[in-house]
Each structure stands twice: as C-alpha cells, then as structure tokens.
Amino acid sequence: MCGIIAYAGTKGAKDMLIDGLEALEYRGYDSSGFYIAKEGSVKSVGRVANLREKAVKAKQGSTGIAHTRWATHGVPSEVNAHPHMGSQKRAYVVHNGIVENYQELKEGLKKSGVIFKSETDTEVIPQLIESYIEKGFDFHQAFLKTLGDIRGTYGLAVMDAFDNEKIYVARMGSPLIIGIADHGRFVASDNSPLARHAHSVVYLNDGDVAIITGNEHEIFSQKGERVLRGEEKMSADVARAEKGEYKHFMEKEIMEGARVVENAIRGRIEIDDGTVKLGGLESVADRLREIDRIIIVGCGTAYYAGLVGEYIIEEYAGVSVEVEIASEFRYRKPVLTPRTALLAVSQSGETADTLEAIREAKRKGILTLGIVNVVGSSIARETDAGIYNHAGPEIGVASTKAFISQVTVLALFAVFLGRQRSMSLVTGRRIGQELMLLPQKIESILSKRDELKKIALAYKDVRDMLVIGRKYNMPIAYEGALKVKEVSYIHAEGYGAGEMKHGPLAMIDEHFPTVAIAPKDSVYEKNISNIQEIRARKGKIFTIATEGDSVIGEVSNDVFYIPHTIEALTPILSVVPLQLFAYYIADAKGLDVDKPKNLAKSVTVE
C-alpha cells in the first residue's frame, strides 16, 4: 500500500522524486523519504509536504529512489521511514509489500553481529544484501541472493552507494512499472507519477528483476536469464488528476459521476439490437455462453458493487451468482466447475487479495474476468478477459466515482449475458435506454447538493448511525455506511432493512439516527414498514426517496429525492446522495477527507 518512485536521468532527481511522491501519496501518507546518489538520504514523518520542506536545501543529484509509506511493521517515524540502509551504508532500499519471514532472517543476521535500527520488516533486505557482499558477491549477485531468501510480496527499488547510476528493481506480488521519458528512466508503483514525463511504459511481471540507468533498462528472471517485456504507449487515462475548483478530490470525483457513466457506456450500447458491445469479452464470448455460475470477488467498495451485480445478473441474465470477499476466497475450498467463471472487481487492478483469488481460480482452470479502472494493471493483464471502467484517475481514498462505474459496467455485463440467453429485445432496449438517461439524472441530483449539505450538517455530531436498504439497495446501505465510516469516523452500520427485528432495533432511540434508502420499487411498502418501526422507537430518519413520493415526508425527519429509473439501476442514483452526505459531514468536522486516518487507496498487501 506504499508508493515507490525512482529516477535516473538528466533532470534533477530530487524534484522528480518529490513530485512523484506527491502523485503517489494516496497510496500511503504516514511518512516518506528519498535517497539520492552521492547526496544521501532525507526522511520525514507525515505528508510529503513535510519532506519537501525538510529537503529544501538538499542537492538535486541525477539518480535516486523514494517512498511514501503506509505503516505495516513499525509505527510511523523517521527511523521506520524508507529508504532503509544496511549497517555498512552500502545498500539503500525502498519496498512495498511484506517480508513474511523477516523475523527468522533478522534473528540469523543478529547472530552474525548485524545491528538493526528500525522496527520494519524491510530492513532485513539491505542487511542481507550487505551480508552477501561481505561474503564476496558483487552487488547484483547479492541482490539476487537476497531475493532468494525473502518470502512474501515485494516491489523493490535498490541502490548501491558505490554506484551512482544504477537502480536495481524487483517485483513479486506488488506492482512496478518502468517509465521511459526523453530525459531518463523512472520506476513507479503505478502510472500516476509518470503522466507528466513518460511517453511509454514497461509493465514488470512477478519474478522480474531489472537494472535501470538514465538511458536504458535490462530485465532478467531471478535466475539471471534475459527477459523481454514490450513497451506500451502511455495511456491518456492516466493524466495527472488535479482538484481544480474543488476543495477535495472526493468532492470532485463525486461531481464527475455523470461523466463516469457516460464514459462507461460510450460506444457500448446498441439500442437497435437491444444489446451491448464489450470488446474486452469478444475473445471469450463463446465460453461465456456455456457459463451457468459466476463468482464475483472484490474487497470493500468493489465487493458491494459485486452485490449489486449479483441481483442484476441473476434477474436479467438468469445466471447464478455468488459474491465473495476476495480475502476469504482462497482460504476456503470453493466448488468450481468448468462452467464457473470468476469475475474480479477492482478499481486499481492491483488489490492483493483479489489478485490471489484470480490466481487460485486459474490454478483450478476456470475462466477469469476482470472489471478494472487502471489500464495495464495486474488484474487486467492476468485475467483471461475483462472490461475497463474508463472512470479516469480516482485519487480520494474513499472510492466514489469508481463504484458508480463498476455498477454501470456490471449492468452492461448483465445485458451482454442476458442477450446471449433468454433476454428479450424489448428488455435489452429498455435497460440500454435507461442507462443512457442516467447521466442527466445524476446531474439533477448533484444540482441539489446544497440540500444534502444542509441535511448532513444536522447529523455531523452523532456518534452512531444506521443505514438500511432492501433488495437492490441493500448493498447501497453497506456502501453508504462504509463511506460515512471512512471519511467522518462516525460509527455507521449498513443493514438489510428486513433484518431490523432481528437485532438492530435494539439500538434505536432518539440519539441513534437511521438513513433509509426507500425508492418507489418492488419493496417500497416493506421499507415504509421498517421506517415506521424505527419511528415508533423515537429514531430519527433521513430517507432517500423517489421524486413524486408524497407519503415518505410524513414518516421521515429529512428527505432527499432522486429521479425515477428502473429498479435495477436505482443503486447508481441512490448512492450519489450518500456519497455527498458522507463528504459534507467529514468536511464540516474539519477532517482530511481525501486521506482518512489508517487508510490508503490501493491495498497491495494482505
């Protein structure tokens, strides 16, 4: 979940590294640091801005490595911040991942007299490299020997203090990309810091080792065999995001909701035929016709998007769907058949648990599919086929526009599968037409955001909150509660409204408000009954309802109205006010909305 940037070239390395860290800061922001050849290392606790200020007098140099940290082993501190160096001050390392056997390695090194300074697992890496150098190996050989000793996941950028030009790189389970610019070479955890500089990129695979200089790169296997990886043109989708007129990225990304849907459906809906065209699935279209069961895997927000997908795929495509938390999938024994497909949902395309679920499914020989937002990401490359969201960069840690795009793509996927089976032309056309109307309906919600802000201010000081919904909107209750927790630190619990009498009602009183999602759909009357149960216990109610509903105001303290759409697509509209509600509460409390405490954007370690 940390961010790595390295640079070798003709421009000032310090500026390249600090700028890169700022672009990567959403991956981790409790400490940061860099090492520049001949100039030494600078570290700082907190945001990258602190590092920039501390390093104002540091010299530029031409080659260096840098890191922004999300703590796993060891508290945030300068001692635990990267880069880490060995006792001989020869090897400097930045690392994303976890060395699972670090305790064992550390004890062995300590017995040989090595003194450790940090609490991190990473420090064993430079210490191991230096121990092999003392045994007579050159730096490259020592690096390879060290890779053979460590178990776990890693994206590594390493420098030798005796060599001012080379950066040694290795990947195993944690993404690394080589960026090629006119003025040098970069190495980064993702595309975001490369957008301003690189014209092309090279994606490293697990097991790859590379040596980078300012004008070339060589890639090897860990056995030392030369490996060829093709260059790819830098995608326009990764242009560096800016907040512009908005106070936070989260606000900006919520406000992009309409455009996100437009991008997700552009060129994909074929109204005349009542179907959709998904180019990324063409190669497996025949196999998909034979599928009778889909397992959707995801983590956090992506998991909740998958739950919405379960409803719509089963209703409109007639295919059985199960949704699994990706982190649990490979630790049980799922029953998989040749007619099962696994569908992975991930914004970053690098989520460690989701990647491992894909690899487990591939070991079992089943079809693997992906819905990802980042072109060239690991999930995009490791699945058999997939669909890109085209949502553009999402910087805020709390996912908003990515969720909307994921649900939109799942709706397209349901039509694709349904038209392969028994879905009628009329039904396909109706879903397509409603999808095309969603952007203007989202815009109508966003135009009333001042109403939501006023409502949010009335709830900003509560300690606890319940969010309820039914059927298609039960996953939205989970997602809405997650957003409130993530950015405002209010204890919010998402629940199926039908489960109120099975426990949650015990918590309700005048100090425990409920947000109810109650659009005019097939379970509307059931939702009204649940709201009445809460009112009878003096619970305060904020309801998200359908425009034209003249009843809901009589049973709610506050109401926000959304436009009508077909039931299956209601989640794409109902989630928008919940996102804004969470945002306005957090902003009113003066919290760092884009960088919530203890969280990072891309979870690349288990």
pLDDT, tens digit, 9 for 90 and up, residues 370-390: 999 988 888 998 999 999 999
Element (H, E) at 581: helix 570-588
Do 152 and 97 contact (CB within 8 A), yes or no?
Answer: yes
DSSP string of 376-442, one letter each residue: T-HHHHHSSEEEE-------SSS-SHHHHHHHHHHHHHHHHHHHHTT--HHHHHHHHHHHHHHHHHH
Element (H, E) at 155: strand 152-160
Sequence-distant (6+) residues with CB within 8 A of 454 are: none
pLDDT of 527 higher than 60: yes
Q: What pTM does this model have?
A: 0.84
pLDDT, tens digit, 9 for 90 and up, residues 407-454: 999 999 999 999 999 999 999 999 999 999 999 999 999 999 999 999
- Structure token pair of residue 114: 């090595």
Is there a shared CATH topology between the 243-446 domain and the 448-593 domain?
A: yes
How would you classify the pairing of strands 84-85 and 491-496?
unpaired
For a pLDDT cut of 90, what percent of the chain falls above it? 77
pLDDT at residue 505, rounded to an integer: 82
Q: How far apart are CA 385 and CA 281, in angstroms?
A: 6
Mean pLDDT calculated for residue range 10-15: 94
pLDDT at residue 331, rounded to an integer: 87
Average pLDDT over the chain, rounded to an integer: 92
Q: Could you name the CATH architecture of 448-593?
A: 3-Layer(aba) Sandwich (3.40)
CATH fold of 3-238 reads Glutamine Phosphoribosylpyrophosphate, subunit 1, domain 1 (3.60.20)
pLDDT of 528 higher than 80: yes
In this structure, which CATH number among 3.40.50.10490, 3.10.450.50, 3.40.30.10, 1.10.760.10 belongs to the domain 243-446? Answer: 3.40.50.10490
Among 73-82, 182-191, 383-392, the minimum mean pLDDT is found in 73-82
Mean pLDDT calculated for residue range 90-95: 96
CB-CB neighbours of 116 under 10 Å: 14
Mean pLDDT calculated for residue range 239-267: 89
Question: 476 or 241, which is more confident?
Answer: 476
Residues with catalytic annotation? 2, 601
pLDDT at residue 222, rounded to an integer: 87
CA distances (Å), 175 to each of 10, 100, 374, 504, 602, in order?
Answer: 25, 18, 12, 42, 11
CB-CB neighbours of 245 under 10 Å: 8
pLDDT of 309 higher than 90: yes
Mean pLDDT calculated for residue range 495-515: 87
pLDDT confidence tier of residue 600, bands split at 50, 70 and 90: low
pLDDT at residue 177, rounded to an integer: 94
pLDDT of 238 higher than 60: no
pLDDT, tens digit, 9 for 90 and up, residues 101-153: 999 999 999 999 999 999 999 999 999 999 999 999 999 999 999 999 999 98
Q: Tell me the domain boundaries of the chain.
A: 3-238, 243-446, 448-593
Query: Of the candidates 603, 211, 269, which has an alpha carbon nearest to the alpha carbon of residue 431?
Result: 269
- Structure token pair of residue 61: 């140099």
- Structure token pair of residue 62: 């031409």
Do 574 and 473 contact (CB within 8 A), yes or no?
Answer: yes
Instruction: List strands edge to edge, sheet with 177-181.
Output: 40-45, 31-36, 63-69, 3-9, 184-188, 177-181, 200-203, 232-233
DSSP 226: B
Query: Of the candidates 240, 236, 259, 258, which has an alpha carbon nearest to the alpha carbon of residue 249?
Result: 240
Among 64-68, 235-239, 596-600, the minimum mean pLDDT is found in 235-239
- Structure token pair of residue 39: 């100039």
pLDDT at residue 19, rounded to an integer: 93
Question: 480 or 376, which is more confident?
Answer: 480
Q: How far apart are CA 528 and CA 505, in angstroms?
A: 15
Among 301-310, 313-322, 378-387, 405-414, the minimum mean pLDDT is found in 378-387
Q: What b/e sequence results for 355-365 when a residue is b if at least 16 CB atoms lie within 10 Å of its CB, and e otherwise?
A: bbbbebbeeee
